[in-house]
């Protein structure tokens, strides 16, 4: 029984609008996204036919999933809440409101890692081999501008731009390019040779002098790019630009150059050659090679081989399958560089190992192996 005296005077008549179904859908917003929309910023849905759609804000990426409810959700513009009616005493008795649309489901968002492996893959289609290379003069079909990347990569703009910096990509004639490794080493070698012949301290390499001395050999942009990639830029009190060369990164690159020539190396021989190959004043250490190379301590003699984390699958389960295919049992120390990038916000390597691996003891050391039999 309903007592009219208990009701507010206004009544809202709800009817279905003409375009009630179809292209309308609901998106549940994670914290922060509502404020972004209200501030006038856009969100973008990205994904090609074979990819699961993701939603990107300016700096974050979210997986999209349909959530079904057993209930009917009607969206009503202009529907008044009790507070609004109470605040507006002059509101008329009968208000006609149209239901703009309805749905039994909505899109749910879950923050995820940006899907950036594709970025490297695209840029590796046509690495830059230098101005003398014949390739560049011909096609532009596998070259990508920032806009191209934004429409192809399932990540936010900020995440994409950050990753471009991480992989030392550079813009050449408006297109993002990755350097061909041999060309990159050639450039690095020019610089390290010059540092040696000029006896500059590794922490104070002058930009101007480099450009002057090397400008006849390579484009100035490339010289500056290699200094930026392998050094830390700073300006001294007199306003001159210098670079503090990054020892770890240089040693690592030279190791890659050596290791890519064979399936594996005798560890002690490699360590000797490696130390001799790096610039004067730099010291090689195996921990510089995390995520790049793996040492096999079980073989006699001990060996080392190239294993680049960026060549491994992006999906968590596939990554673990791949790692356990390479080696059955891993210590936490060895496997960490190869799964670190899988960690979601606030997730630890330990949590990943608990989820995707099984632990056991081997000779007093804790090791991890696959949860499932590897075919």
Q: Which is nearer to another protein, 24 or 333 (CB)?
A: 24
**Apex CA 249: angle with CA 248 and CA 253, to 5°?**
120
Q: State the virtual CA torsion across 224, 187, 259, 314 in degrees, nearest 10.
A: 40
90 binds another protein (CB under 8 A): no
106 binds another protein (CB under 8 A): yes
Q: What is the spatial distance between Cα 144 and Cα 147, in angstroms, rounded to a whole number?
A: 8
67 binds another protein (CB under 8 A): no
Kindly tell me which residue out of 59, 63, 99, 118 binds another protein, with binding defined by CB under 8 A: 99
Pairing of strands 330-331, 94-99: unpaired
Nearest Cα to Cα of residue 297 among 308, 286, 288: 286
Pairing of strands 241-245, 231-235: antiparallel
Q: Which is nearer to another protein, 5 or 361 (CB)?
A: 5
Bridge partners, residue 368, by sequence: 330, 359
Q: How far is CA 356 from CA 249, 333, 350, 361, in A?
A: 31, 16, 10, 17
Residue the block writes with tokens 């509101």: 91
348 binds another protein (CB under 8 A): no
Options 26-34, 232-240, 293-301, 325-333: segment touching another protein (CB under 8 A): 26-34
25 binds another protein (CB under 8 A): yes
Q: What is the spatial distance between Cα 61 and Cα 43, in angstroms, rounded to a whole number?
A: 10
Least distance to another protein from the beta carbon of 180, Å?
24
Q: What is the spatial distance between Cα 259 and Cα 284, in angstroms, rounded to a whole number?
A: 14
13 binds another protein (CB under 8 A): yes
375 binds another protein (CB under 8 A): no
Give residues 186-225 in contact with another protein (rule: CB under 8 A).
none
237 binds another protein (CB under 8 A): no
79 binds another protein (CB under 8 A): yes
Least distance to another protein from the beta carbon of 6, Å?
5
**Residue 309, CA atoms < 13 Å, CB-side half-sphere:** 15
181 binds another protein (CB under 8 A): no
Kindly tell me which residue out of 52, 78, 140, 212 binds another protein, with binding defined by CB under 8 A: 78
Q: Which is nearer to another protein, 124 or 262 (CB)?
A: 124
Q: Give the CA radius of gyration of the chain.
A: 29
Least distance to another protein from the beta carbon of 173, Å?
18
Kindly tell me which residue out of 59, 63, 75, 157 binds another protein, with binding defined by CB under 8 A: 75
Q: How far is CA 168 from the centre of its chain?
A: 13
Which residues are near another protein by CB under 8 A? 1-2, 6-8, 11-21, 23-31, 33-34, 37-38, 40, 42-46, 48-49, 55, 69-79, 81-83, 85, 97, 99-102, 106, 148, 151-152
């Amino acid at each position: 029984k309903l007592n009219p005296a208990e009701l507010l005077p206004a009544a809202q008549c709800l009817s279905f609008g003409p375009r009630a179904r179809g292209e309308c859908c609901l998106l549940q917003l994670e914290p922060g996204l509502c404020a972004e929309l209200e501030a006038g910023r856009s969100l973008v849905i990205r994904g090609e036919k074979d990819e699961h759609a993701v939603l990107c804000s300016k700096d974050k990426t979210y997986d999209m999933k349909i959530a079904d409810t057993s209930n009917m959700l009607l969206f009503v513009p202009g529907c008044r809440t009790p507070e609004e009616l109470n605040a507006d005493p002059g509101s008329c008795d009968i208000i006609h409101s149209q239901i703009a649309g309805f749905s039994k489901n909505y899109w749910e968002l879950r923050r995820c890692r940006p899907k950036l492996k594709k970025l490297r893959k695209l840029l590796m289609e046509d690495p830059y081999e230098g101005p003398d290379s014949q390739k560049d003069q011909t096609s532009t079909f596998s070259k990508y501008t920032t806009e191209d990347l934004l429409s192809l990569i399932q990540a936010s703009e900020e995440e994409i731009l950050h990753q471009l910096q991480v992989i030392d990509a550079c813009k050449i004639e408006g297109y993002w390019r990755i350097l061909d490794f041999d060309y990159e080493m050639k450039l690095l070698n020019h610089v390290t040779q010059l540092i040696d012949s000029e006896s500059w301290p590794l922490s104070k390499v002058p930009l101007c002098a480099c450009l002057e001395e090397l400008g006849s050999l390579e484009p100035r942009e490339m010289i500056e790019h290699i200094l930026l990639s392998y050094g830390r830029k700073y300006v001294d009190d007199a306003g001159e630009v210098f670079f503090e060369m990054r020892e770890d990164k240089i040693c690592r690159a030279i190791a890659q150059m050596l290791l890519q020539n064979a399936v594996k190396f005798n560890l002690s021989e490699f360590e000797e050659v490696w130390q001799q190959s790096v610039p004067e004043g730099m010291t090689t250490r195996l921990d510089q090679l995390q995520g790049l190379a793996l040492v096999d301590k079980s073989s006699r003699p001990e060996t080392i081989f190239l294993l680049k984390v960026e060549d491994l699958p992006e999906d968590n389960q596939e990554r673990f399958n791949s790692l356990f295919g390479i080696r059955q049992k891993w210590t936490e120390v060895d496997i960490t560089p190869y799964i670190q990038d899988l960690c979601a916000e606030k997730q630890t390597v330990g949590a990943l190992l608990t989820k995707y691996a099984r632990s056991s003891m081997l000779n007093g050391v804790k090791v991890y192996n696959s949860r499932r039999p590897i075919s």
